[in-house]
Amino acid sequence: MAKDDSSAPRTEPIQSWTFSKNINAEIRRAAATGIYDIRGGGAKRRVPHFDDLLFLGASISRYPLEGYREKCDTRVTLGTRYAKKPIELDIPVTIAGMSFGALSGPAKEALGRGATLAGTSTTTGDGGMTPEERGHSKKLVYQYLPSRYGMNPDDLRKADAIEVVVGQGAKPGGGGMLLGQKISDRVAEMRNLPKGIDQRSACRHPDWTGPDDLEIKILELREITNWEKPIYVKVGGARPYYDTTLAVKAGADVVVLDGMQGGTAATQDVFIEHVGQPILACIRDAVQALQDLDMHREVQLIVSGGIRSGADVAKALALGADAVAIGTAALIALGDNDPRWEEEYQRLGTTTGAYDDWHEGRDPAGITTQDPELMARFDPIEGGRRLNNYLKVMTLEAQTLARACGKSHVHNLEPEDLVALTMEAAAMARVPLSGTDWWPGKPGTGF
């Protein structure tokens, strides 16, 4: 007779770290469907970020500015290198490019309203410029993208700046996709394509390859617009030192650098999570390139990808950026992923904060959709008010930190004001590991 050992201690079930619940679910989904996952947003994995940096604040060697009253300037001028009409912004936070098509018309309008109230710029996206967007944006940057959907010289001249998009942080080296569910009559017409088909956005420009061609392309754009508009060049966070160098060589007024946390309307999850670098790892290389060319502050640097607060803004500026751009955070300020829609998120098989199937056009918040009923839920005036409030808070927070470091302009923040909490962040930001005077790779230390 077998011995009854049911009362003996047993090994507890252990979930594999390698084969986690999420990984296993994805394997099952792939096995069932035969298609890879497409989603919106940026990298969700934990990567070294601005949270891993701290400001030192003032001490005996540096004295602070009074927290509320002493002047701490936040103005930024973009496009001082060649443009006859540089862009003047009141705050160092801009709105990143997001397309009409990916976003609803009212959502684009709200971005324009909020940015204008806050004294900053917003940016078009793939799909061209809508009259509503131009009308509600005092300062509008017109993206010049590989697809050239909606591109025309009249809109080019109506813009306040032109952004030549080479890549973006969510998918350096990749193109875009707008699924047929979001291709309304108006979106289709603006893109010269049939309604309801999946619209691909090319991964590279159709009429130039390489930095020498880009220089000539920028010359053409300047000639068409009478050398008035600042020309930005946007790159994903891949090889920031060389990309910045080449953008400057090609004649850019402004370099826009987007880290892997930067969002997209839709691409493969494998692309979002496995290509490109965190923005923290990119900024110092880009600044170094500008300094090596003696172009720091003459060619301005805008960074993006996971900017959420005034602390992130201040840290990005301290590392040498001139301004930041926000995309995902702006959508959240408008109402994306808001808990008020939790029931509907549940019905879509997701939850508040995790909703990322923006490409399906079923956004309960009415922001990333072209569905008339869902769009009607979103009030562009209220959205604009919320975005303005959020931008104002970010700016006040950045000023607070700058004053604590004794700076009368947010651009006076510098790497010496920072320490890092982790070895990785210290290496990427090239600031000392907290409690030491060392970072990995510091010249002269042998590491």
Partner 1 sequence: MQTIDLEATGLREMNSALQAQAKDTNQTAWEIVNPRGAHAIAVGLDAPIDVAVRGSTGYYCAGMNKQATVRVDGSAGPGVAENMMSGTVVIEGDASQYAGATGHGGTLVIKGNASSRCGISMKGIDIVVHGNVGHMSAFMAQSGNLVVCGDAGEALGDSIYEARLFVRGSVKSLGADCIEKEMRPEHLEILAELLERGGCDAKPEEFKRYGSARQLYNFNIDNAY
Q: Where do contacts with partner 1 occur on this chain (CB under 8 A)? A: 34-36, 38, 147-148, 151-153, 156, 177, 179-180, 191-194, 197-198, 200, 202, 206-208, 213, 216-217, 219-220, 223-227
Q: Which two tokens stand for residue 137?
A: 């944006």
Shortest gap between Cβ of 96 and partner 1 (angstroms)? 24
Contact 336, 377 (CB under 8 A): no
Shortest gap between Cβ of 180 and partner 1 (angstroms)? 6
Closer residue to partner 1 (CB): 51 or 215? 215
C-alpha 134, offset from chain centre:
21
Q: Give CA–CA dist 392/118, Å, rounded.
A: 7
Compute the CA torsion angle 285, 287, 289, 294 (nearest 10 deg). -160
What is the residue type of 234?
Answer: K
For residue 4, the cross-strand partners are none
Contact 418, 431 (CB under 8 A): yes
Total number of residues shown for the chain? 447
Looking up tokens 């930005």 gives 232
Q: Give CA–CA dist 229/241, Å, rounded.
A: 25
Instruction: Identify the burial level of 40 via C-beta atoms within 10 angstroms of its C-beta, where 0-12 means exposed, 13-18 middle and 19 or more buried.
Output: buried
Contact 160, 229 (CB under 8 A): yes
Closer residue to partner 1 (CB): 144 or 341? 144
**Distances from the Cα of 28 to the Cαs of 35, 75, 347, in angstroms?**
11, 51, 20
Shortest gap between Cβ of 133 and partner 1 (angstroms)? 20
Closer residue to partner 1 (CB): 216 or 354? 216
Shortest gap between Cβ of 197 and partner 1 (angstroms)? 4
Shortest gap between Cβ of 360 and partner 1 (angstroms)? 12
Q: Give CA–CA dist 190/129, Å, rounded.
A: 9
Say which residues have a Cβ less than 8 Å from residue 343's Cβ, sequence separation at least 6.
Answer: none
Closer residue to partner 1 (CB): 248 or 266? 266
Closer residue to partner 1 (CB): 55 or 227? 227
Shortest gap between Cβ of 273 and partner 1 (angstroms)? 18
Q: Give CA–CA dist 431/423, Å, rounded.
A: 10
Looking up tokens 């500008």 gives 290
Shortest gap between Cβ of 30 and partner 1 (angstroms)? 10
Shortest gap between Cβ of 396 and partner 1 (angstroms)? 42
Closer residue to partner 1 (CB): 23 or 30? 30
Closer residue to partner 1 (CB): 270 or 381? 270
Shortest gap between Cβ of 132 and partner 1 (angstroms)? 22
Say which residues have a Cβ less than 8 Å from residue 444's Cβ, sequence separation at least 6.
Answer: none
Closer residue to partner 1 (CB): 27 or 381? 27
Closer residue to partner 1 (CB): 207 or 416? 207
